[in-house]
C-alpha cells in the first residue's frame, strides 16, 4: 500500500499546526485516504483465472446462438484454450463451461455479469475479453444477428461503445455497415458487418481509430490519444499472458493506423 497521502498530510499538519499533535492528526487523515485508495485498487484488480468459466460459457452460447456449433467454432475454442495455456483442471473447467453455454435456453446474462465483475473498472482488461469473444463471433465469416446481439450485450456491460467495438472489428479486417460519426454515433442498422476487407497495408486506419475520413486533425489526434492510453502495454498490469499479447498487438495496430493517417494527411 502507498503512504503518499499519509506523508503529505503529516507534513502539512506539522507546517500549518506548528506541532507534533497536528502532525499526528494529519497523518491519521492521510492514512484514511491511502487506505481508501488501496481498497479501490483491490476492488478493481481482477482475480487471476476468474474469467475462464464465464468466458468459455459465453463462447459456447455464441457458437450455439445461430442453431448449431460448427467445427470452426470448436476449433477456435480449442486454439484459445491452447494460447491461454489451459491444461489439466483448467482445461476441463473451460470445456465444461463451453458445453454448458451450448445448452438450449442458456442465459448469457450470468457469464456477462461475471466478466463485468472480473474486469471491474479495468478497461485495459475489458478490451482483451471482447477481443477473444470476437474470434468466435467471426469464426464462420460474416456473423449472424444472434451472435452480434450477444457481443454487443457484452460490450455494453464492459462499457465499450459501438465506436470502440467497430475499431476492434476493423483491426480484424471487418467493416461495420454504415460509418461511425466523429462523436461515436453508429449509423446503419442492416446486417451489421460485411466480410473482411483486407489489403496489403492492413485494415482501414480510420476504422481502427473509430473515425471517418473527413475527421479533422485535432479530432484524429484526440481519438488516437484516447485509444492508445487505454491499450498501452504499460497499463496492462496483471493481465494474463494471452490477453496481454492481444492488447500489445492492438496497441501496435493503433500506432500503425495513426502513422498511416499522419503520412496521408501530412501532419506531425
Residues 108-146 pLDDT 10s = 999 999 999 988 877 778 888 898 899 899 888 888 899
Q: Return mean pLDDT, the chain.
A: 77
Q: Are both 222 and 250 inside the same structural domain?
A: yes
Question: What pLDDT does residue 10 have?
Answer: 62
Q: Are residues 174 and 199 in the same domain?
A: yes
Out of 115, 141, 160, a domain closes at 160
* Residue 162: CB atoms within 10 Å: 17
Query: Which pLDDT does position 48 carry in this prediction?
Result: 42
What is the domain count for the chain?
A: 3
Give whole-number Cα distances, 222 to 127, 227, 232, in Å. Answer: 19, 9, 15
Give residue-wise pLDDT tens across range 168-189: 887 776 765 544 443 333 333 3
Residue 100 is part of a domain; what is its CATH number? 1.10.3680
Q: Which of 160, 189, 218 is the last residue of a domain?
A: 160
Rounded mean pLDDT, 89-96: 92
The C-alpha atoms of residue 116 and residue 133 are separated, in whole angstroms, by 14
Average pLDDT score over residue span 83-88: 84
The three cell numbers locating residue 97: 463451461
Boundary-marking domain end, from 126, 141, 160: 160
**Same domain for 106 and 77:** yes
Domain that holds residue 36: 4-44
The per-residue pLDDT for 29 is: 67
Residues 89, 186 within the same domain: no
Given a cut of 50, is residue 253 above it in pLDDT?
Answer: yes
Q: Is the domain of 61 the same as that of 81?
A: yes
Nearest to 171, CA basis, from 257, 233, 239, 236: 257
* 33 and 81 part of one domain: no
Do both 97 and 38 map to the same domain?
no
Same domain? For 92 and 172 the reply is no
Express each pLDDT in 138-157 by its tens digit. 888 888 899 999 999 999 99
User: What digits encode the pLDDT tens for the residues 69-78?
Assistant: 999 999 999 9
Amino acid at each position: 500500500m502507498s503512504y503518499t497521502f499519509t506523508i503529505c498530510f503529516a507534513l502539512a499538519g506539522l507546517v500549518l499546526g506548528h506541532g507534533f499533535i497536528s502532525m499526528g492528526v494529519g497523518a491519521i487523515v492521510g492514512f484514511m485516504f491511502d487506505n481508501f485508495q488501496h481498497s479501490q485498487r483491490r476492488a478493481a484488480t481482477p482475480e487471476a483465472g476468474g474469467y475462464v468459466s464465464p468466458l468459455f460459457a459465453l463462447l459456447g452460447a455464441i457458437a450455439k446462438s445461430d442453431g448449431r456449433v460448427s467445427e470452426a467454432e470448436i476449433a477456435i475454442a480449442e486454439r484459445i484454450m491452447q494460447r491461454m495455456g489451459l491444461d489439466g483442471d483448467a482445461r476441463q473447467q473451460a470445456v465444461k463451461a463451453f458445453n454448458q453455454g451450448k445448452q438450449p435456453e442458456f442465459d448469457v446474462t450470468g457469464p456477462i455479469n461475471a466478466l463485468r465483475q472480473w474486469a471491474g473498472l479495468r478497461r485495459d482488461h475489458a478490451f482483451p475479453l471482447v477481443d477473444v469473444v470476437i474470434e468466435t463471433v467471426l469464426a464462420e465469416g460474416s456473423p449472424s444477428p444472434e451472435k452480434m446481439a450477444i457481443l454487443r450485450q457484452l460490450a455494453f456491460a464492459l462499457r465499450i461503445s459501438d465506436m470502440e467495438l467497430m475499431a476492434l472489428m476493423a483491426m480484424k479486417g471487418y467493416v461495420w455497415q454504415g460509418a461511425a460519426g466523429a462523436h461515436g454515433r453508429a449509423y446503419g442498422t442492416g446486417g451489421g458487418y460485411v466480410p473482411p476487407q483486407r489489403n496489403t497495408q492492413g485494415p482501414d486506419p480510420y476504422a481502427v481509430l473509430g473515425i471517418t475520413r473527413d475527421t479533422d486533425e485535432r479530432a484524429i489526434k484526440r481519438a488516437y490519444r484516447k485509444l492508445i492510453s487505454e491499450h498501452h502495454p504499460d497499463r496492462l498490469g496483471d493481465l494474463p499472458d494471452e490477453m496481454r499479447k492481444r492488447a500489445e498487438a492492438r496497441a501496435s495496430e493503433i500506432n500503425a493506423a495513426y502513422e498511416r493517417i499522419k503520412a496521408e494527411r501530412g501532419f506531425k
